[in-house]
Copies of this chain bind each other. A is one copy, B any other.
């Protein structure tokens, strides 16, 4: 719904909405802004190499309403490691659905952050939205009630009956994050988890081929390919025998994908890395 609400609320007359296209989710956000007739400018795209990297430069339009980025790309396995620097006064909007709460972020650098709860925040069925008041005040008037960010801001997110249990569970997750040592510790843990697996890829002499540029590797979704689809299928089925599931890559990239969201414990990532080394020994 945010793909729709962001341009509805913040695409202003005579301005262009700017997007950086880093994969499937960016594309959907762009398509929705176009669908409702907004003037969309794609400021950068990594589609030339099948989204294997995060663009390091971009060209904003003359009169940008905002710049929208997708901070983690679940399907392709890339992640923004640095907040983009853009001229002051241009709202920076980020879809952080798949890496929100995986690490500390400088919230104040963003004018609007949104994140579906279902990765690191809590159960499916809620979205976290953080908006600067300065942006909220500029929102287009006369919008349908439920699509107007001001409706929800004014009513403390209780304009309609809120999904109480989901919010309660999010509270428990937040307490768990605190007890874990906060987001700094969560990030350390996520780095350690990803390192286990990326290290095997890098030391495999090409048996496992990482699909994205090293500097843009996601801490949440680790994508890799092998020499043949048959070998990948064998890998996935052997892993399953060890109780490791969900390792098949998305059909748009194929191959394998290990997702290492907050809820995956470090020993599970270690176990996968060990399995990968053994699998290479047997089949390399």
Instruction: Kindly report how many copies of this chain are found in the complex they form together.
Output: 2
Q: How far is the CA of A144 from the CA of B9 in the complex (A)?
A: 14
B118–A161 contact, CB under 8 A?
yes
Q: How far is the CA of A145 from the CA of B116 in the complex (A)?
A: 17
By a CB distance below 8 angstroms, the chain B residues around A164 are: 123-125
Nearest CB of chain B from residue A41's CB, rounded to whole Å: 20
Q: Which A residues between 143 and 190 are near B, CB-CB below 8 angstroms?
A: 144-147, 161-166
Q: Which of A123, A144, A146, A166 has the most CB of B within 10 A?
A: A144
Q: How far is the CA of A196 from the CA of B123 in the complex (A)?
A: 40
A14 at the interface (CB under 8 A from B): no
**Given B124, B146, B147, which contacts A162 in the complex, CB threshold below 8 Å?**
B124
A147–B4 contact, CB under 8 A?
yes
Given contacts A145-B4, A146-B1, contact A124 B163 (CB under 8 A): yes
Q: Which A residues between 116 and 154 are near B, CB-CB below 8 angstroms?
A: 116, 118, 123-126, 142, 144-147
A163–B161 contact, CB under 8 A?
no
Nearest CB of chain B from residue A105's CB, rounded to whole Å: 22
By a CB distance below 8 angstroms, the chain B residues around A145 are: 3-4, 32, 35
Q: How far is the CA of A123 from the CA of B162 in the complex (A)?
A: 10
Nearest CB of chain B from residue A194's CB, rounded to whole Å: 23
Q: Which A residues between 1 and 21 are near B, CB-CB below 8 angstroms?
A: 1, 3-4
Interface of A toward B, CB cutoff 8 Å: 1, 3-4, 32, 35-36, 116, 118, 123-126, 142, 144-147, 161-166
- Those 10 A-B pairs whose CB atoms lie nearest each other, nearest first: A125-B163, A124-B161, A125-B125, A4-B144, A1-B146, A123-B165, A124-B163, A118-B161, A124-B164, A125-B166
Given contacts A4-B144, A125-B126, A163-B163, 4 further A-B contacts (CB under 8 A): A3-B146, A35-B145, A36-B144, A123-B164
